[in-house]
Amino acid sequence: MRFYGTSSMRGIGCGHLVCGCHAPADVRGAGGTPKSAGPVTRAVLEDLAAAARILANEGVVDGFGHVTMRHPASPERFLMSRSKAPALQEPGDIIEFDLDSNPVNADGRPVFLERFIHGQIYKLRPDVMAIVHSHSPSVIPFTLTGLPMRAMYHQAAFLAEGVPIFRIEEKFGPTDMLVSDNMIGEELARVLAGKPVALMRGHGSVAVGPSLQMAVFRAVYTEVSARVQQAALMHGLPIAALSEAEGVLADEVNMKSGSRAWDLWRQQVKF
The alpha carbons of the chain give a radius of gyration, in whole angstroms, of 18
Do 66 and 111 contact (CB within 8 A), yes or no? Answer: no
Out of 58, 76, 90, 114, the active site residue is 114
Q: Give the whole-angstrom CA distance, residue 140 versus residue 222.
A: 11
Q: What was the pLDDT predicted at 30?
A: 52
Phi, psi (degrees; rounded to nearest 5) at 27: -115, 5
Q: Give the whole-angstrom CA distance, residue 36 versus residue 24.
A: 6
Low-confidence ranges of the chain (pLDDT < 70): 1-31
Q: What was the pLDDT predicted at 111?
A: 98
pTM (predicted TM-score): 0.88
Do 204 and 135 contact (CB within 8 A), yes or no? Answer: yes
Angle between helices 212-233 and 42-57 (to 10 degrees): 10
In terms of DSSP bridges, do strands 165-166 and 197-200 run parallel, antiparallel, or are they unpaired? parallel
Q: What was the pLDDT predicted at 22?
A: 38
Q: What was the pLDDT predicted at 33?
A: 78
Active site residue 90: no
In terms of DSSP bridges, do strands 17-18 and 204-209 run parallel, antiparallel, or are they unpaired? unpaired
DSSP letters, 92-155, are: GGEEEEETT--BSS-TT----GGGHHHHHHHHH-TT--EEEEE--TTTHHHHHS-PPP---SGG
Q: Give the whole-angstrom CA distance, residue 30 versus residue 139.
A: 43
Q: What was the pLDDT predicted at 34?
A: 87
Do 78 and 118 contact (CB within 8 A), yes or no? Answer: yes
Which domains does the chain show, CATH number per domain?
43-267 (3.40.225.10)
Residue (of 149, 130, 251) closest to 199 by Cα position: 149
